[in-house]
């Protein structure tokens, strides 16, 4: 995912050649600095992979927890519908039951 946004690879950095001028940089200093960049770049790539893996695991956990919530809500509704007097019905439940009773008494209109 993040790899698409990164322009250079470790290989690109390693194989980069600079033009040497009479007053140019010292090649040893450039190489040493590029070695540091490559090391950091590899570490960054590793961190991104770890974060992607963690993100995937968290998304899977989130989906599993959402499914658990749906299942528990369904079980709660079943308990309420079975006459569990210990559970206090919400206003929506009372209105739904009242509507069902009216349909039974006055017909299904």
Please determine, for residue 11, whether its predicted confidence score (pLDDT) is greater than 90.
no
Q: How many domains does the chain contain in total?
A: 1
pLDDT score at 41: 86
Domain housing 79? 2-106
Tell me what pLDDT residue 84 has: 55
Q: Answer yes or no: is pLDDT of 4 > 80.
A: no
pLDDT score, position 59? 96
- 10 Å Cβ neighbour count for 35? 12
Q: Report pLDDT for 1.
A: 57
63, 35 contact by CB (below 8 A): no
DSSP for 9-43 reads -HHHHHT--PPP-TT---HHHHHHHHHHHHHHHHH
13-58 pLDDT, tens per residue? Answer: 888 887 777 777 777 888 888 888 888 888 888 898 999 999 999 9
């Amino acid at each position: 995912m993040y790899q698409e946004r990164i322009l250079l690879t470790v290989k690109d950095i390693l194989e980069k050649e600079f033009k040497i001028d009479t007053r140019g940089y010292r090649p040893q200093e450039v190489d040493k600095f590029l070695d540091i960049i490559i090391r950091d770049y590899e570490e960054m790539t590793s961190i991104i992979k770890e974060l992607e893996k963690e993100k995937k695991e968290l998304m899977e956990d989130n989906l599993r927890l959402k499914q658990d919530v749906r299942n528990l809500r369904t079980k709660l509704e079943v308990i309420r519908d079975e006459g569990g007097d210990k559970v206090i019905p919400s206003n929506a439940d009372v209105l739904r039951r009242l509507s069902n009773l009216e349909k039974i008494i006055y017909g299904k209109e």
